[in-house]
């Protein structure tokens, strides 16, 4: 397996790998990673579809990529995926997946056309004082000291950041900046999260520093991710005769070790309550989704809170059993134990039919939520919310079945251990209507209307005990390599598998690990698109410097006398050179 960038290999088709028709594949988990693995096995590995088996604990596919109309509760979205043009493996996959409406149009085509016609652009990124835009919204407000801390983190090699937390590398200066507010609420970083992952994010998305304020770089699907991405992918796989086995829990996978070699030899599973086992040969490939951020999710309703339970589910148990066999398979407890209380665990899906909230949404977003256009372009964050409440309103309808008078709003609170500002309870203890009331309060709805509007809405609180476990502080070896050293037929996929440079909590990471796993185990001879290389692009780095300083040129930077002398000497030296040309192109001169 090797990485590649550019068009030469991007459009090339690999030759059929040797023995592809002899191979069978067993995929644990029907989330995006598992489905992507199946698709790459079919498309690039050319393994017959009927020899690919997907085991799923639940009765439906999609994993965390959800969006469902529950007959009892109503519309439910646990979260929303933010995507960007440089999710290289994701788009490599979805260029080959036809849409359900028109087989001649790929999911990528649909996505591309839609986002061209209706691009993201956030009118207001942060509000405070009940619906008023933050005065400094649009600026990153980083002090020189904070910028130096960012630079220092980026320049620190990853192997020196074992178990380091974000609040160990940044000072108050940094946390008081709008940069941190934008960054933490956009990606769900908590102060105690992994500094190692924060560094990866800074490098991975350095090309987006200039759009953090308006989120114009983000792209969104037509409907929720389940309908727009998962359903077409399932159709593609079913058309290729891939076998899906739902209500099936994989309890253990026995791995035999001979010297340095590792081979999966048996799968122990429970199908509809019946224990079974499956003996494996070297031609049987196993792809395991280890861990899950949405496992053990509970739901409430308008009148009831979501039960705040956090049992360890099947995906974590399976990972534990594997880890007990070999230390190369990682340390799952690092991600599901000791999750801080000041943590994001709650989201809510509110369905409104009451038009009285429309003016408040229009005031904040500058958009008519019923126009069919993107409304918030990612989250609008409420700076003075004790829960650090965020609001996201996607294109409406967000579900194909949604009625024209229904408006769906997704809410999340990044701090679960504090009482709300209007509802004096922790978000974890609130019913759907109470969470809705807190939202209505913060967007400026008059207090005498709040209870009534919340009562007529249908709000579903959702408790996800492991939703931020990707971000737990970690060290090298806590996540198993996609293909552990010496493994001949076993791979790990999803956001708890280790691959270099890419960032967790992204659809891209799920697809990338799946692609790498399939290419490695089948020895597919085509380059995998590397993680977008903006961190190596001098133009991007210089542009980021310009935006981190809130659009200041080099000569406008607050420098001391010695630094000014140095800068002038530097500018004299580069005058009339290619370097000066680049500095000018990035507005630094």
Q: What residues are labeled active site? A: 82, 201
Task: Say whether residue 175 binds other proteins (CB under 8 A).
Answer: yes
Of 21, 70, 160, 171, the one binding other proteins (CB under 8 A) is 171
Task: Say whether residue 429 binds other proteins (CB under 8 A).
Answer: no
Q: Which stretch binds other proteins (CB under 8 A): 83-91, 166-174, 517-525, 535-543?
A: 166-174
Output the CA–CA distances (angstroms, integers) from residue 47 to 28, 92, 110, 328, in the order listed: 17, 18, 28, 28
CA distance 471 to 194: 6
Total binding residues toward other proteins, as defined by CB under 8 A: 30
Of 105, 151, 341, 565, the one binding other proteins (CB under 8 A) is 341
Task: Say whether residue 340 binds other proteins (CB under 8 A).
Answer: yes
Output the CA–CA distances (angstroms, integers) from residue 359 to 75, 135, 382, 403, 430, in the order listed: 23, 20, 18, 20, 26
Interaction mask 300-339, other proteins, x per CB under 8 A: ----------------------------------------
Element (H, E) at 361: helix 358-365
Helix (H, G, I), strand (E, B) or coil at 261: strand
Element (H, E) at 315: helix 314-325
Task: Say whether residue 181 binds other proteins (CB under 8 A).
Answer: yes
Of 115, 294, 302, 343, the one binding other proteins (CB under 8 A) is 343
User: CB-wise, 301 or 438, nearer to other proteins?
Assistant: 438
Of 418, 455, 475, 553, the one binding other proteins (CB under 8 A) is 418
Least distance to other proteins, CB of residue 218, Å = 22
CA distance 397 to 394: 8
Task: Say whether residue 562 binds other proteins (CB under 8 A).
Answer: yes
CA distance 220 to 242: 28
Task: Say whether residue 143 binds other proteins (CB under 8 A).
Answer: yes
Nearest-5° Cα angle at 442, 441 to 443: 95
Q: Which stretch binds other proteins (CB under 8 A): 143-151, 226-234, 371-379, 541-549?
A: 143-151
Contacts of 289 (CB under 8 A, 6+ apart): 27, 28, 29, 31, 33, 34, 63, 315, 492, 493, 494
CA distance 278 to 141: 58
User: CB-wise, 390 or 494, nearer to other proteins?
Assistant: 390
Task: Say whether residue 106 binds other proteins (CB under 8 A).
Answer: no
Contact 162, 475 (CB under 8 A): yes
Least distance to other proteins, CB of residue 185, Å = 8
User: CB-wise, 168 or 275, nearer to other proteins?
Assistant: 168
Task: Say whether residue 176 binds other proteins (CB under 8 A).
Answer: yes
User: CB-wise, 70 or 171, nearer to other proteins?
Assistant: 171
Task: Say whether residue 400 binds other proteins (CB under 8 A).
Answer: no
Least distance to other proteins, CB of residue 82, Å = 20
Q: Classify residue 378 as left (phi > 0), alpha (psi -120 to 50) or beta.
A: left
CA distance 265 to 251: 14
Contact 172, 221 (CB under 8 A): no
User: CB-wise, 305 or 468, nearer to other proteins?
Assistant: 468
- Which tokens is 373 given? 């256009």
Task: Say whether residue 549 binds other proteins (CB under 8 A).
Answer: no
CA distance 322 to 266: 12
Least distance to other proteins, CB of residue 195, Å = 13
Q: Which stretch binds other proteins (CB under 8 A): 88-96, 170-178, 525-533, 538-546?
A: 170-178
Element (H, E) at 94: helix 88-94
Sheet holding 243-245, edge to edge: 243-245, 52-55, 24-28, 284-289, 490-493
Task: Say whether residue 173 binds other proteins (CB under 8 A).
Answer: yes
Sign of the Cα torsion 367, 369, 370, 371 reads positive
- Which tokens is 414 given? 């990044």
Task: Say whether residue 133 binds other proteins (CB under 8 A).
Answer: no
Task: Say whether residue 254 binds other proteins (CB under 8 A).
Answer: no
Q: Classify residue 291 as left (phi > 0), alpha (psi -120 to 50) or beta.
A: left
User: CB-wise, 190 or 516, nearer to other proteins?
Assistant: 190
Least distance to other proteins, CB of residue 203, Å = 21
Q: Which stretch binds other proteins (CB under 8 A): 94-102, 340-348, 360-368, 433-441?
A: 340-348
Least distance to other proteins, CB of residue 419, Å = 10
Q: What is the DSSP letter of 357?
A: G
Reference 29, options 298, 294, 312; nearest CA is 294
Task: Say whether residue 136 binds other proteins (CB under 8 A).
Answer: no
Interaction mask 183-222, other proteins, x per CB under 8 A: -x-----xxx------------------------------
Sign of the Cα torsion 554, 208, 413, 139 reads positive
User: CB-wise, 354 or 417, nearer to other proteins?
Assistant: 417
**Bridge pairing between strands 52-55 and 24-28:** parallel
Contact 332, 316 (CB under 8 A): yes
Of 205, 415, 505, 509, the one binding other proteins (CB under 8 A) is 415
Residues forming a β-bridge with 490 = 286
Least distance to other proteins, CB of residue 365, Å = 22
Least distance to other proteins, CB of residue 338, Å = 9
Task: Say whether residue 342 binds other proteins (CB under 8 A).
Answer: yes
Least distance to other proteins, CB of residue 141, Å = 11
Interaction mask 356-395, other proteins, x per CB under 8 A: ---------------------------xxxxxx-------
Please give the residue ranges that form the binding site for other proteins (CB under 8 A): 143, 145, 149, 167, 170-173, 175-176, 181, 184, 190-192, 340-343, 383-388, 414-415, 417-418, 562
């Amino acid at each position: 397996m090797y990485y590649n960038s550019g068009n030469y290999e991007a459009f090339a088709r690999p030759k059929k790998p040797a023995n592809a028709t002899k191979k069978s594949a067993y995929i644990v988990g029907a989330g995006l990673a598992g489905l992507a693995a199946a698709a790459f096995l079919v498309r690039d590995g050319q393994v017959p579809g009927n020899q690919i088996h997907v085991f799923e604990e639940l009765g439906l596919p999609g994993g965390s990529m959800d969006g469902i109309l529950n007959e009892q509760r109503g519309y439910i979205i646990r979260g929303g995926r933010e995507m960007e043009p440089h999710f290289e493996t994701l788009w490599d996959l979805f260029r080959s997946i036809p849409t359900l409406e028109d087989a001649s149009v790929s999911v990528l085509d649909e996505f591309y056309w839609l986002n061209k016609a209706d691009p993201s652009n956030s009118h207001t990124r942060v509000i405070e004082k009940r619906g008023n835009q933050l005065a400094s919204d649009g600026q990153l407000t980083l002090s020189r000291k904070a910028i130096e801390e960012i630079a220092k983190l980026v320049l620190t090699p990853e192997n020196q950041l074992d178990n380091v937390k974000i609040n160990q590398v940044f000072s108050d200066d940094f946390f008081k900046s709008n940069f941190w507010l934008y960054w933490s609420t956009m990606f769900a970083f908590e102060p105690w999260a992994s500094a190692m992952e924060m560094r990866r994010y800074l490098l991975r998305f350095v090309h987006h520093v200039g759009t953090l304020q308006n989120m114009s770089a983000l792209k969104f699907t037509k409907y929720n991710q389940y309908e727009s991405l998962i359903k077409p992918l399932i159709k593609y796989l079913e058309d290729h005769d891939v076998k899906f086995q739902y209500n099936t829990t994989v309890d253990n996978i026995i791995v035999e070790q001979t010297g340095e070699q590792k081979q999966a030899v048996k799968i122990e599973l429970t199908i509809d309550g019946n224990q079974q086992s499956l003996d494996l040969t070297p031609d049987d490939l196993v792809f395991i989704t280890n861990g899950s951020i949405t496992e053990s999710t509970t739901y409430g309703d308008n009148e009831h809170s979501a039960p705040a339970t956090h049992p360890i589910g099947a995906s974590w148990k399976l990972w534990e059993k594997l880890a007990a066999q070999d230390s190369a398979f990682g340390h799952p407890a690092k991600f599901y134990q000791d999750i801080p209380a000041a943590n994001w665990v709650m989201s809510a899906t509110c369905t409104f039919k009451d038009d009285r909230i429309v003016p408040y949404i229009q005031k904040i977003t500058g958009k008519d939520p019923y126009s069919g256009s993107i409304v918030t372009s990612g989250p609008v964050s409420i700076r003075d919310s004790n829960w650090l409440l965020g609001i996201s309103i996607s294109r409406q309808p967000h579900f194909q079945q949604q009625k024209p008078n229904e408006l769906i709003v997704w809410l999340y609170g990044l701090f679960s251990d504090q009482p709300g500002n209007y509802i004096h309870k922790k978000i974890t203890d609130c019913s759907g209507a109470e969470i809705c009331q807190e939202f209505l309060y913060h967007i400026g709805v008059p207090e005498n209307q709040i209870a009534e509007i919340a009562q007529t809405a249908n709000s579903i609180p959702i408790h996800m005990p492991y939703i931020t476990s990707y971000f737990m502080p970690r060290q090298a070896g806590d996540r198993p390599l996609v293909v552990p050293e010496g493994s001949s037929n076993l791979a790990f996929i999803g956001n708890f598998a280790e691959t270099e440079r890419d960032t967790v909590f992204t659809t891209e990471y799920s697809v990338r690990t799946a692609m790498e796993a399939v290419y490695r185990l089948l020895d597919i001879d085509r380059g995998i698109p590397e993680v977008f290389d903006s961190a190596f692009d001098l133009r991007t780095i210089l542009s980021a410097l310009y935006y981190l300083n809130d659009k200041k040129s080099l000569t406008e930077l607050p420098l001391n006398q010695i630094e000014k002398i140095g800068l002038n000497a530097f500018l004299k030296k580069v005058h009339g050179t290619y370097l000066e040309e680049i500095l000018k192109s990035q507005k630094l001169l």
